[in-house]
Homo-oligomer: A and B are copies of this chain.
Amino acid sequence: MELRVAVRADVPAVLQLLADDDISRARGFGDAPVAEDVDAAIWAAFEEIDADPANELIVADQDGEIVATCQLTFIPGLSRGGSRRMTIEAVRVRSDRRAAGLGRAFMEHVLTRGRERGCRMAQLTTDKRRADAHRFYAGLGFTASHEGMKLAL
C-alpha cells in the first residue's frame, strides 16, 4: 500500500469512496458527481487543496487501486504553546478492504504524516451513529473527549 498525495486522476475514485457510505447517502451524497460528471465546484476545491501546503488530500494506492482516502489540514495555533494540530476529514476505507487491517495501517501512516508536519495533536469528528468508527479510532489511541458540533451556514 502506497500512501501519497492525490493527483487529478485520483479524484473520481476519491469521490466514489466518499459516496459509498450510508450516512453520506442519507444527507444526499448518493448522487455525488463522479468521473466525467465531476462539476466545477469539486474541481475548484481540488485545485485549492492541491495548491495549499496546509491541506493534503491523501490516498492509499494498492496495486493501482485507490482503497482509502482522507484529507489532512495542518493548522497553526496559539494554544498549547503555539503547537500545530492536524485535522483529519473525510476518512473513507473501501468497504471490501476494511476487515484486513488496511484501515489501521492507513491511519497509522496518516498519524506519522502529522508528526512529520510538526503537529502535536490529531483531531477528527465522527458521526455519533458510526459506532464501528468510534471503536476503530479508540483502538488507534483517540479519545472521545469532545462534542463535535456542526451548523449548516
Residues of chain A whose beta carbon lies under 8 Å from any beta carbon of chain B: 11, 14-15, 18, 24, 27, 29, 32, 39, 41-46, 48-49, 52, 54-55, 57, 71, 73, 75-87, 89-90, 111, 114-115, 119-128, 134, 137-138, 140-153
Instruction: Select A29's contact among B32, B43, B44, B80, beta carbons within 8 Å.
Output: B80
> Within the assembled complex, what's the spacing in Å between the Cα atoms of A15 and B78?
7
Q: Can you name 4 extra interface pairs (CB under 8 A) apart from A15-B78, A128-B146, A146-B147?
A: A55-B76, A126-B146, A126-B147, A142-B150
Instruction: Select A150's contact among B18, B127, B145, beta carbons within 8 Å.
Output: B145
Residue of B nearest to A142 (CB): B149
Q: Which of A75, A78, A142 is packed against the most chain B CB atoms within 10 Å?
A: A78
In contact, A44 and B149 (Cβ under 8 angstroms): no
A sample of 30 inter-chain contacts (CB < 8 A) reads: A14-B78, A18-B79, A24-B79, A29-B79, A32-B81, A41-B81, A42-B78, A42-B81, A44-B82, A45-B76, A45-B77, A45-B83, A52-B76, A71-B78, A77-B89, A79-B90, A121-B151, A122-B153, A123-B125, A123-B149, A123-B151, A125-B147, A128-B144, A134-B147, A143-B149, A144-B147, A145-B149, A146-B148, A147-B147, A147-B148
